[in-house]
């Protein structure tokens, strides 16, 4: 007998790409007895009466956070396979009630790692500073400053979760030195990744590129401030694809105003987007992108593939690679 399943999500697929497109929905339908409609918070009550036998949910962005009353209408629900990354918005109501939760967070880490790699390589060539100085000077004097290139330069990674670790792996193709700060980094893991563990202060002082990948936890809020930013090397670049709340924005702005040699590449801010009067919009040495580091376009079906593979493992009684347990959830940003 096939597992009874349903799709739960609510997001603008026409803009971001259809996670369960390109044959993935059809594959799920072949593996399960799939409920014909996509369910979300806005239409849950309309469909709830027909969902009592659902055992498995395949979800992605826009997954609803079940209230106790809503969860009670899914008495046979055993597992949720989330074809996306962050599960903070809805995980507790599932995990604490014994429902298996899987997230494709490792797959969702690939695009931001790739984006950071491209930004690092461009920064090592002095691209961002040269472009803004070229616009101002309109001569090759714009590139008359030290541009190290990739040979033997130092890259600093803050946080070695999935994104930070994947970025480090991608950097192995280049002759750079990688230093890292992560309070959970063990000596064995540091050897495995071939990184040198350092304090946060040493990382900012030594690295030509500082890339932030720490999770969004209460303990990491406002941890990057004035002293750290002021210690950055001449011409350094600060990249943030972690979370904006980890940065003391006023301190970053003050440092960037005082030091036009620095560059900040911010895919995240706090709040998002910054207020219209924020100086981040006006500073020439800041590039703000609208949180575009995540999976998008044709890439999104990789998330569905991961969820489907995990479902097949679960159905076969095998251990899941990407289950979100209570302990893992506490460390996720």
Domain co-membership, 52 together with 163: no
Place of tokens 């962050």: 86
**Within a 13 Å sphere around the CA of 36, how many CA atoms are in the beta-carbon half?**
0
Number of domains making up the chain: 2
Domain co-membership, 201 together with 305: no
Domain co-membership, 9 together with 92: yes
Let me know: does 10 contact 41? Beta carbons within 8 Å.
Answer: yes
Domain co-membership, 104 together with 118: no
Tell which of 288, 304, 320 closes a domain: 288
Q: Tens of pLDDT along 113-157? A: 999 999 999 999 999 999 999 999 999 999 999 999 999 999 999
Q: Give me the mean pLDDT over the 273-280 stretch.
A: 96
Domain co-membership, 320 together with 267: no
Domain co-membership, 91 together with 217: no
Per-residue model confidence (pLDDT) at position 329:
72
Domain co-membership, 275 together with 309: no
For residue 267, what is the domain's CATH number? 3.40.50.720
pLDDT class of 241 with cuts at 50, 70, 90:
very high
Q: Give me the mean pLDDT over the 70-84 stretch.
A: 97
Q: What is the mean pLDDT of the chain?
A: 95
Domain co-membership, 102 together with 72: yes
Among the ranges given (44-58, 301-315, 317-331), the one the predictor scored with the smallest mean pLDDT: 317-331
Let me know: does 156 contact 204? Beta carbons within 8 Å.
Answer: yes
Domain co-membership, 36 together with 144: no
| Whole-prediction pTM | 0.91
What percent of the chain shows pLDDT beyond 90? 91
Q: Tens of pLDDT along 10-67? A: 987 777 789 999 999 999 999 999 999 999 999 999 999 999 999 999 999 999 999 9
214, 215, 218, 220: CA torsion to nearest 10? 0
For 88, the domain range is 3-108+296-331
pLDDT class of 92 with cuts at 50, 70, 90:
very high
Per-residue model confidence (pLDDT) at position 38:
97
Q: Tens of pLDDT along 188-220? A: 999 999 999 999 999 999 999 999 998 878 888
Per-residue model confidence (pLDDT) at position 219:
85
Domain co-membership, 8 together with 29: yes
Per-residue model confidence (pLDDT) at position 331:
64
Compute the residue count for the chain: 333
For 168: left if phi > 0, alpha if psi spans -120 to 50, otherwise beta; the answer is alpha
Domain co-membership, 152 together with 170: yes
Beta-carbon count within 10 A of 319 CB:
7
Domain co-membership, 162 together with 247: yes
């Amino acid at each position: 007998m096939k597992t009874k399943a349903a799709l739960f999500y609510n997001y603008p697929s026409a803009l971001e790409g259809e996670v369960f497109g390109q044959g993935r929905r059809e594959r799920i339908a072949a593996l399960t007895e799939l409920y014909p409609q996509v369910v979300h918070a806005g239409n849950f009550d309309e469909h709830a009466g027909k969902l009592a036998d659902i055992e498995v949910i395949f979800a992605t962005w826009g997954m609803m956070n079940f209230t106790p009353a809503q969860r009670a209408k899914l008495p046979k629900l055993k597992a949720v396979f989330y074809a996306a990354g962050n599960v903070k918005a809805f995980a507790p109501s599932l995990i604490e009630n014994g429902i298996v939760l899987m997230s494709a967070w490792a797959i969702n880490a690939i695009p931001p790692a790739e984006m950071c790699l491209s930004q690092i390589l461009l920064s090592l060539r002095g691209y961002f500073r040269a472009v803004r100085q070229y616009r101002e000077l309109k001569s090759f004097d714009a590139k008359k400053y030290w541009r190290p290139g990739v040979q033997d330069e130092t890259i600093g990674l803050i946080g070695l979760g999935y994104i930070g670790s994947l970025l480090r792996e991608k950097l192995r193709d280049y002759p750079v030195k990688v230093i890292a700060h992560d309070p959970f980094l063990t000596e064995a893991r540091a050897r495995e990744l071939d990184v040198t563990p350092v304090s946060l202060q040493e990382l900012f002082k030594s690295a030509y590129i500082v890339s932030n990948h720490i999770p969004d936890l209460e303990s990491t809020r406002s941890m990057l401030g004035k002293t750290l930013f002021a210690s950055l090397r001449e011409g350094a670049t600060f990249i943030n694809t972690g979370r904006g709340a980890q940065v003391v924005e006023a301190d970053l702005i003050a440092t960037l105003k005082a030091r036009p040699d620095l560059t900040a590449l911010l895919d995240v801010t706090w709040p998002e987007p910054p207020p219209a009067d924020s100086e981040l919009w006006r500073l020439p040495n800041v590039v703000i992108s609208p949180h575009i580091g995540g999976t998008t376009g044709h890439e999104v079906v990789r998330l569905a593939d991961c969820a489907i593979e995990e479902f097949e493992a679960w159905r076969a009684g095998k251990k899941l690679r990407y289950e979100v347990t209570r302990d893992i959830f506490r460390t996720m940003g």
